[in-house]
Structure 1
Amino acid sequence: MVAWRWSQTSAKVDRKGVHTDNMTQPFPLKPPFKIPFKSPISEVPDFLQSEQLLPSFTAGTVTGIIGVIRAISYAALIFSGPLSAHLGLGIGMAIFSTAVIAIVASLTSSFGGTIATPLAAPTAVLAVMAAELAAALPASTPPMDVFLTVLAAIAIGSLVTGVLLFCLGRLRLGSWLQVVPYPVVGGFMAGTGWLLIRGAIQVATDSDLTWQTLDVVFQTSVVWHWLPGLGLGIFLYLVTRRYKHYLVMPGILLGSTVVFYLVLGVLDLPVEAARSQGWLLGPFPAGGLWHPLQGEDFTHIHWQAIAGQAGNLITLALVTLLSLLLTKNGIELIVEQNLDLNRELESVGLSNLASGLGSGMAGNQALPSTLLAHKIGASHRLTGIINGITCLAVLMVGAQFLAYLPKPVIGGLLFYLALTLLVQWIYQSWSTLERVDYFTVVAIGVLTNAVGFLEGILAGFAMALVAFAIRYSQIDVVAQITSAASYPSHLTRTPQNRQWLQVQGEKVGIVQLQGFVFFATANQFLDQVRDRLLDPQQPSLQFLILDLQQVQGIDSSAALNFQKIRQMAVNKQIELVFTGLNKSVEDKLVAQGVFQDSKTSPPRIFEDLGQGLAWCENQLLQEKGKQASMTSLNGSQPKVISA
């Protein structure tokens, strides 16, 4: 097969006669911003500055206390139901994770004021995995073996997440990750919100909220256990929306605990009686809270059961990655500073690796705590270090005070976290998202709870791609269909030739395409070209120019339709001309066989529409024996394209 390419060897002239060769930009392009790199070690002397010490100590202590409270609630979410006997060790694991992640992230993040902790969404995945592991192990499995297996799975999840994120950052792949469709993120958050609702009820009642347990959960005696937590969660949500002070949440949680014990006093209910009725956490076994995996522990771990959780482990890593992308964007808006995504990936990856090596859970940047530190004026690395030290101090105190934490308060915090997600993504998004995107959010939220996180996210990506294809197919890729009579070349011609071409130009059809031509839009332009070729009321064509100057790319479906157009042109003895092909489009057309030999001459290829028009006009003039003006084609030589 052959196809002729006309290449201008002298200075290039565009259709408007503007010389384009040797045109260079007067100044080199520069990025809009440069992210300064400041070594954490270089900031150590700054820690001693008084203007940093006080705000960093205040913000670090407050966010550390909040981190401990959330760690307790996350542990209660994971170690609930049959795992509740190991809640004390679970709390120690969560607090340790909070401390390590906060310290490592503060030292390695591109933003010094970053506060990182375990987050709700990855914790929800861990809760699902822990419950499935506990259910999969034989009933005869010793309780401690069950705990060690769950703890090992949590640690492996942190290590897998850490390796993935660190490698993505080290390989500088951050720019490729910011393509997650917004509805997918929203659906993932909505699904997390509903899982937190279920977790809050399970913490308060030891009963999961499912279709099978609805009659149990809504029994009067059971309702009284989770209803106070729901009320506290709603109160927390309303007050924190109205008042943004950093002491509001800790104050409400402390006040709620005081009110709880006042009610016990009024009812003359002893603490032990309240514990036996399920109103308090515990009892906890004596000893330390933190129990990292050690040598002999590995012999009690059921590795085969953990291998069966490969899907949840992958989901955990993906969910943490999604959380990182979402949180990073939120932090940038708050602090008005661009964060280096690749460095954040490395930072969070290292934090998770450190947590996993200590048998801890996965974590990420915490937007609310980072915002709090920023408002206090403590956007320094010292803040995250003090945050971690605060958590470690609580860890060293032990489980004595944890046994006095009311379940309604822990459940209320979980309800609050759930409400923030559900209100944003189910209620508020109704007025901000298109209906297709909104129902995608809802569908993902339902699927993550009915089937699983990984399945819900994958289904969300599929729905987002379908929605994108439908939307893009509504964009007309045919920018214009005209002829050389109304769109002549800019060659200098005699008045007689110009007048003659004004009449004969109808024999030269021009179809200008734009955008990306793929399966959803390929038939659109094929139908329009077919209608033009088969319309008996239109003049017959001798030449058909397909101008792809504004086409960024095509897929195989579009390439097939170009082949169909070629066949129609051959059948009607129409000369086919391509203009403005980029290398990618040309390669796909060659692979499809558009330029193969046929009964007529192969398609001509020109660099731009102006040259293609000039060639078609000259062919018309030569056929009539007229003098063809070759003003801008002097020096052109044909090339052969081989496929």
Structure 2
Amino acid sequence: MSHSKTDNTGALPRSILAGAIAGVDNISRTVALTAFIFGGALSAGVPLALVLFLVTNVLATCVYVAGRALPAPLFSSVQNAPVAVLYPATLTLSATGEPTAIFLLLGATAVASGLAMTAIGFFDLGRFVRLVPYPVAAGFLAAVGALLARSAFGLVYPGNLADLAADIAEQSPEALLPMLSIGFAIVLGLSVWLFRNTGVILALIIGLAGTYGVFSLHGIDLAAARDMGLLQPRVSGIVLPSAEDLSTVVAQLDQNMLQDILPIVGAATVISLFGIMLNSAGAELILDRDIDSRHGLVRAGAVNILTGAAGSTISYLSASTTAMSQQLGSLGRAPIWSMCALTVVAIPFASDIYNFVPTFVSAGLLLFIGASIVKVWVLDQFGRLGRADWLLSLTIVVVSILFGMVTAIGVGVVAASVIFAVLYARLPVIRSTSDLRTRRSRVDRGPAQTAFLDAHGDEVAIVSLQGFLFFGTAMYLTAHIRGLLEKSGKIHTVILDFRRVSRVDASAIATIRRIELLAGSYGTRVVLSEMNHETNRDIRRSYLSLGPNHILQTARTTDEALEAVEVEMLSRLEDKERHESATSALDRITGDPAVTKRILMKMSREQVAKGTRLITQGHQSGDIYLIDEGRLSVLLNLPDGGTLRLRTMAEGSLVGEVASYAGLKRTADVVAETDAVVYHASTERIAAITGEDPVLAAALHRMVAATLADKLDRTNKLLGDAE
């Protein structure tokens, strides 16, 4: 008991420390992000941006976790990824010289993302975002990291790496700031590698202490450091945008500028959706627990709408901060309150902190974050993804660098569509193929008709389809039908069972037209059966010719289609075979009319009115019935009071033989579908025949065994076709 108390006592300080580290990490990232967006000529917007971003961190975290049971903390924060995508737009708007333009851009993007998150969460549309193939999503996020690193480098050096190499060779002062930034990014990487959870904080301490130590050693004051570019231009009080500032910005937004900016805003919104979905999935793996992503999307959306209206940037769940806190052993809500408290305390001093942080520290931190994103989503995936998938992710990154994020998203969407089509096309659209020898309607017929359908069953093909019938899968159906017709040469009917088909597209309808032409050349008709409402609607409003006298026909159910074709085929029988009876059925089984006559004499011939129940579901009975005239229905009673027709038994059929032989309770009702005449053998009569006349009993049992064997054989063949 005391041991447990000690553990709990130790957990609280660890949790508070973890929250404080998360707070320092958030503050440092916020300072770097603010310098990234508002550095240079737009520095007047820094104080307000710092306050907005820090308040957003606190609000996003509190709203996300409010009312949730939390065995471990979850943290939300403003995100670098969407801002990296927006960076080209910020450069465009910086020409106005008004920080208000940047706040307007950030806020509009946050509101747009918030609306999208809310809609996706409320209507449960996240599954569509998850349909994007993993290599494409990974490429998007890696591209964001590459853009962030490139833009951060641009903060401290106007040229490219080749220019930097030349300046280094010439020992130009211009090379100092980018070299310090790259050096600090390397220090961050080594520190995180050595000290996974506290590495960023330790590197910041080293960077700040080292910088001011050098300043002191060389007598460099803060003003001189700012002149050298080692510190950002000094900022002071918050300047709130006025209505006049807003009007000035809006007046400068011409059509060309909007055409450049709006696609970038759309791209940032898309990236924010991928970001929150993947961060949620990452947090689930980190915490080893399910996170209600719909709930989280709605909450994150509400926060983004609210903070975006104030001019803040996009925020959502941060898997990296959550992972760091988890690794430090934090529990419950203490880390959250600790992080929020530290952030709130820092808000009044945010501008002072910004003035204190060297330029290369902010740039180096962003370089490190960008490089880390590229490492996680591209470099680390090299051995995990297939070669083609990995090259696709890399291609998206390269396209984003060369042509921008909007083009990269376009390439990704096209790639996702192609991957989806190719992978879906590999799924078998043809579930099974059978014929009348294995698959029949629900009408059980006498031996003569059954034998005829067995002999000519290969004249009818039943093709069961599944999935989404579209251009990628429809071509296989045409090839399959062609193969059936060419191989057989005598198929007069093809039944296409659409029961498991979800939808068809225009290409699939064109394929059905080609099948119609193909079938016509063989003198074959095609019956489309069991189409759902949407498929039936799409096909009927197309240019296809449907009807009883056309090559293409329809049937409400596959069973109706099978029964119709069976009736048509049986019309070819001679009259005495087409109209079976108890006598003709027994003659065919026993091969001896005298034995048939003796069996029927032992059974009672009964007139049965339509609707009469002969067998009751659940009753224990071994009676059997042989139909002489009319039809019987086998009906299953459902829990809701309704009934389901399982079979229809025609003349010459034997009914009730399974329960009679197995000694089981009746599994369904048997009711006269029409006025009928049956031969009835009760359990007692069967027992009497067995005891009194072994020869007759053998013939009777042979009739039952033949019926059971036929049903078993048909079932086995049907299962074999399904495989």
Same fold (TM over 0.5): yes
The aligned counterpart of 1:596 is: 546
Match of 1:342 in 2: 294
Aligned with residue 321 of structure 2, among 341, 356, 369: 369
Q: Partner residue of 1:259?
A: 210
Secondary structure of 1:219 counterpart? helix
Task: Classify the secondary structure of the residue corresponding to 1:431.
Answer: coil
Tell me, in whole angstroms, the C-alpha distance in 2 between the residues paired with 1:566 and 1:271.
84
Structure 1 residues 370-519: aligned runs within 5 Å: 370-381=322-333, 383-485=335-437, 492-493=444-445, 495-519=447-471
Which whole-Å CA distance do the structure 2 matches of 1:420 and 1:334 have between them? 18
1:293 correspondence with 2:247: no
Q: Matched residues in 2 for 1:406 and 1:263: separation?
A: 12
The question of 1:122 aligning with 2:71 is answered no
Q: 1:560 aligns to what?
A: 510
Q: Structure 2: how far apart are the matches of 1:600 and 1:356?
A: 62
Shift of 1:428: 2.3
- Paired residue type of 2:206: G
What's the offset of the Cα at 1:467? 1.7
The amino acid across from 1:622 in the alignment is S
Q: Distance in 2 between matches of 1:409 and 1:204?
A: 11
For residue 59 of structure 1, what is the aligned residue in structure 2? 18
Q: 2:273: which partner in 1?
A: 321
CA contact (8 A) 1:102 1:387 kept: no
Give the aligned length.
Answer: 570
Quick one: structure 1 residues 281 and 93, their matched pair in 2 at CA, closer, same or farther if it must change by over 3 Å?
Answer: farther
Change (3 A) 1:199 1:598: same
Shift of 1:615: 4.1
Structure 1 residues 505, 155: closer, same or farther in 2, change over 3 A?
closer
Matched position secondary structure for 1:545: strand
Map Cα deviations across residues 527-585 of structure 1 (whole Å, 9 max, x no partner): 2213433x2x6332222222233333322211222233234434543233334433333
Report the 3-state secondary structure (helix = DSSP H, G, I; strand = E; otherwise coil) of the residue aligned with 2:383.
helix
Deviates more, 1:226-235 or 1:266-275: 266-275
Tell me the secondary structure at the aligned position of residue 432 of structure 1.
Answer: coil
8 Å CA contact 1:99, 1:391 repeated in 2 = yes
Tell me how far apart the structure 1 counterparts of residues 211 and 673 of structure 2 sit (CA, whole Å).
90
Question: Contact 1:102 / 1:385 at 8 angstroms: preserved in 2?
Answer: no
CA shift in 2, pair 1:218/1:473, >3 Å: farther
| Aligned-partner residue type, residue 550 of structure 1 | R
Please give the alpha-carbon distance, in whole angstroms, between the structure 2 residues aligned to 1:116 and 1:456: 27
Question: 1:621 touches 1:628 (CA, 8 Å); kept in 2?
Answer: no
Q: 1:623, CA displacement in angstroms?
A: 0.9
1:538 aligns with 2:488: yes
Q: Give the Cα separation in 1 of the matches to 2:393 and 2:551.
A: 54
Q: 2:138 aligns with which of 173, 179, 186?
A: 186
Using the TM superposition, name which of 413-422 and 545-554 deviates more: 545-554
TM-score by length of 1: 0.78
Q: Distance in 1 between matches of 2:524 and 2:303?
A: 66
Tell me the SS of whatever aligns to 1:603.
Answer: strand
Pick which of 102-111 and 64-73 moved more.
102-111
State the SS of the aligned residue for 1:577.
strand
CA distance in 2, matches of 1:453, 1:351: 25
Structure 1's unaligned 5+ residue stretches are 1-48, 138-142, 638-643
Q: What does 1:29-428 correspond to in 2, within 5 Å? A: 54-80=13-39, 82-83=41-42, 87=46, 90-107=49-66, 113-135=73-95, 137=96, 143=97, 146-170=98-122, 173-174=125-126, 177-205=129-157, 207=158, 209=160, 214-215=162-163, 219-220=167-168, 221=172, 222-241=174-193, 243-244=195-196, 246-264=197-215, 272-278=223-229, 280-285=230-235, 287-288=236-237, 290-295=238-243, 297-305=245-253, 308=258, 309-381=261-333, 383-428=335-380
Q: 1:382 to 1:174 in 2, by over 3 A?
A: farther
CA deviation vs aligned residue, 1:609-637 (integer Å, no higher than 9, x gap): x6644543443232122326787446999
Mean Cα displacement is larger for which, 462-471 or 584-593? Answer: 584-593
User: Shift of residue 121 of structure 1?
Assistant: 0.4
- Report if the CA contact (8 A) 2:73-2:335 is conserved: yes
Which deviates the most, 161-170 or 337-346?
161-170
- Name 1:3's counterpart in structure 2: none
* Structure 1 residue 593, shift from structure 2 partner: 5.2
Paired letter, 1:408:
F
1:433-481 CA distances to partner (integer Å, 9 max, x unpaired)? 2344333322332333333333422331121011211222233423444
| 1:34-76 deviation digits (Å, cap 9, x = unpaired) | xxxxxxxxxxxxxxx9898645532332211111100111112
Q: 1:93 to 1:216 in 2, by over 3 A?
A: farther
Q: Say which structure is richer in strand.
A: 2
Say whether the 8 Å CA contact 2:44–2:99 is kept in structure 1: no
Q: Which moved more, 1:331-340 or 1:79-88?
A: 79-88
Q: Which amino acid aligns with 1:72?
A: V
Percent of aligned positions that are identical: 22
C-alpha contact (below 8 Å) 1:101/1:354 kept by paired residues: no
What is the rounded CA distance, in whole Å, between the counterparts of 2:397 and 2:480 in structure 1?
41
Pick from 571, 574, 578: which aligns with 1:627? 578
Cα gap change, 1:271/1:293 in structure 2, threshold over 3 Å: closer, same or farther?
closer
Which secondary structure state, in structure 1, belongs to the residue aligned with residue 523 of structure 2?
coil
Provide the secondary structure at the position in 2 that maps to 1:360.
coil
2:532 aligned to 582, 604, 618, which one? 582
Q: Deviations over 1:242-285 (max 9, x none)?
A: 543x323211221232233445566665555444322x222303
* Structure 2: tracts of 5 or more residues without a match: 1-7, 581-630, 633-646, 650-671, 675-723
Q: Distance in 2 between matches of 1:628 and 1:265?
A: 113
Alpha-carbon distance between aligned partners in 1 of 2:423 and 2:578, rounded to the nearest angstrom: 50
Contact map agreement 1:237 1:419 (CA 8 A) in 2: no
Matched AA of 1:545 = I
Q: Normalising by structure 2, what TM-score?
A: 0.70
Aligned partner letter, 2:253: A
Shifted more, 84-93 versus 254-263: the winner is: 84-93
